[in-house]
Amino acid sequence: MDPTGIITNYHIAYTKEVLVLVPGVTSKKEAGKFIGKKAVFTDPKGKKYIGKVSGLHGKKGTLRVKFRKPLPSTSLAKPVNIAA
């Protein structure tokens, strides 16, 4: 699962909230199974960022994940593990 972007406002980028695409998931119904699951991003240095799938974004199965700490800018397009 790859983060595709961060949630932004006019003046603020919410780097704790990330949009994640799950391969093979193409609908809201399929993506709804992941709500409430734990998400973990590990950076190249080995530091772990823990978050939770908080909801859906759009109609095509994109997930919104909220992390406890802001993700580094290099995390975009890198894999995130979501516990099944």
Report the CATH number that the domain containing residue 57 is assigned in CATH: 2.40.10.190
Looking at residue 30, what is its pLDDT?
93
The larger pLDDT score, comparing residue 73 to residue 43, is at: 43
pLDDT for 2-51, tens place per residue?
A: 566 666 677 777 778 888 888 899 999 999 999 999 999 999 899 999 99
Looking at residue 65, what is its pLDDT?
93
Q: How many domains does the chain have?
A: 1
Looking at residue 35, what is its pLDDT?
95
Structural domain range at position 6: 2-82
DSSP for the chain, written as a single string: -EEEEEEE-SS-EEEEEEEEEPTT--SHHHHGGGTT-EEEEE-TTS-EEEEEEEEEETTTTEEEEEESSPPPGGGTTS--EE--
